[in-house]
Structure 1
Amino acid sequence: MQSKNLSSKRAIAPGSLRRVHHIAFNVKDLQASRHFYGEILGLHELQGEEVPSTLRELVASGKVSNFITPDGTVIDLFYEPDLSPPDRDPTRPFTRANHLAFDIDPSLFDEAVEVLRSRDVPIDHGPVTRPTGRGIYVYDPDGFIVEIRCNAV
């Protein structure tokens, strides 16, 4: 079998993704998860104006909670009460992660979208424009959602 030369195709330029912007987890028990991240791990729960404007309605309705790590990474907890792991045995691996989001400079966002399209990366949805910025949601090879997003300019 001949290996493909992946480096000859366009790629998002190394160093363009600046940091992990946020990690979103689906949680079955939002109150228990809020207790774990806030009371046990000691992370700050975003409140009021700290909550991203696109999530305020979900936070107010009890469907999302947001925490911030000391390095500025936001952890979003999405309440999914009917979600069950594939196996009740907690030692068997499964994921409740919703998506991983990378931040990119706004001037590089459109180019990143074109790279993803040119490489036939499956797109879940987007690009979307929100008051807080722009994003595109794609699938990695295992079907995990990865968001490339930028702040509003």
Structure 2
Amino acid sequence: MTAPFALSRIHHVAYRCKDAKQTVEWYEKVLGMTYTSAFSEDHVPSTGAYDPYMHVFLDCGGGNVLAFFELPQQPEMGRDTNTPEWVQHIAFEVPDMDALLAAKAHIEGLGIDVLGPTFHGIFRSIYFFDPNGHRVELACNIGKPEHYEELKRVAPLMLDEWSRTKKAPRHADWLHKDPDAG
């Protein structure tokens, strides 16, 4: 079914942070984002509940915005312990492999542990954590048009098989063969 409206883009994605100032400074220094605006209220506009907050917005490029809420009156920030840390993450695209490797060197030079580059068939990624414990991914696309066409073709087959078996479908095994793995 088609919705009776069209989405134009993601307006922003919001996460919780431990310290808004530290978070803004980290994303500026580590990823080069631009801090653009903040909202701070004592009452939540949508619910009217008393819950003082600072809501900060960072420009990620390409019209994309990443936002964070600092909530000092709420219990200490945690994470979903039933979900592995590698699942919930924020992924940003870089233009190519040279940029990915430059990012890795820059981030490691700041004393941050980086995993990767990891091969994902149509992209390569590096992973690290922000000061709030959010996993961050930087990815560069390496796929060819025929790869994306094939993935689109097998996507419904893979989802149907997964729904029936809850085992990884093998419709796109070629994605797991890293040509640079020797």
Is this a same-fold pair by TM over 0.5?
no
The normalised TM-score by structure 1 is: 0.39
> Which has the larger helix fraction?
2
Q: Flag the structure with more relative contact order, 1 or 2, with Cα contacts below 8 A and sequence separation at least 6.
A: 1
**Larger gyration radius, structure 1 or structure 2:** 2
